[in-house]
Amino acid sequence: QVQLQESGPGLVKPSQTLSLTCTVTGDSMSSGSHYWSWLRQRPGKALEWIGHIYYSGSTSYNPSLESRVTISVDASKNQFSLNLNSVTAADTAVYFCGRERLIDYSQDYWGQGTLVTVSS
Amino acid sequence: QSALTQPASVSGSPGQSITISCTGTSSDIGGFNYVSWYQHHPGIAPKLIIYEVNKRPSGVPDRFSGSKSGNTASLIISGIQAEDEADYFCGSYRRSAPVFGGGTKVTVL
């Protein structure tokens, strides 16, 4: 059973960096059979893809966030991480991690999501 | 404004069939056979129920089906059950990135 679990602070101050980690169990990131992704849902908005990483470290980002985003992987720990810098209140959202199919970029497994609030 | 357009809500009585639409453009839904649907009960992980327009992952009941015509995709729930009450959102592919609809709340009357 594949499971993903997000972890990290639930409150971040404006202008600081939002950092989250996703721990994967039930699958090996090193198998190379999927991408590993971050997504978010801001209040009242549609789900938004932030970006993904391959086990090798190759990344792809949403152009609207690319200047502020870094996704990294630690395949030995079966974890991958999100850093979003210079956050504002507009970055308040539920953040999800996902396992993403290589062919059609659908997310076949998700974490339950974690609420991150940006506030002083 | 969502990349893909869904109705805000759909309802049906147990045993009825309901259809949820998802409208995009020729750059996403109309351009590829890459449409996915997700079921989300708030507070737990979303679940993939349809991928590549009409394929079901293992374990998804066959009362869930998908189709596409032009720039519009549809999720059909045949014989809706109480446990199907949830949020549903669609996904597609545009310019090498996933895009999503705003979600539809399904109520079982």
Q: What is the pLDDT of residue B3?
A: 85
CB-closest option in A47, A108, A109 to B100:
A47
Model confidence at B1, pLDDT cuts 50, 70, 90, reads low
Give the closest residue to B15 by CA, choosing from B100, B95, B77: B77
Tell me the β-bridge partners of A110.
A98
Mean pLDDT in residue range A96-114: 96
To the nearest whole angstrom, how far is the Cα of A90 from the nearest Cα of chain B? 15
- pLDDT beyond 90 at B107: yes
- pLDDT beyond 70 at A104: yes
Mean pLDDT in residue range B48-52: 98
To the nearest whole angstrom, how far is the Cα of B14 from the nearest Cα of chain A? 28
3-state per-residue secondary structure call for chain B = CCCEECCCEEEECCCCCEEEEEECCCCCCCCCCCCEEEEECCCCCCEEEEECCCECCCCCCCCEEEEEECCEEEEEECCCCHHHCEEEEEEEEECCEEEEECCEEEEEC
CB-closest option in B34, B45, B48 to A111:
B45
CB contact under 8 Å between A48 and B96, yes or no, is no
Query: What's the CA gap between B60 and B63, in Å, rounded?
Result: 8
Averaged pLDDT score across all residues of chain B: 95
Pick the residue from chain B with its C-alpha nearest to A114: B43
% of chain B beyond a pLDDT of 90: 92
3-state per-residue secondary structure call for A44-88 = CCCEEEEEEECCCCCEEECCCCCCCEEEEEECCCCEEEEEECCCC
B23 Cβ under 8 Å from any chain A Cβ: no
Mean pLDDT in residue range B15-29: 96
Query: What's the CA gap between B12 and B52, in Å, rounded?
Result: 26
A36-70: pLDDT as tens digits: 999 999 999 999 999 999 999 999 999 999 999 99
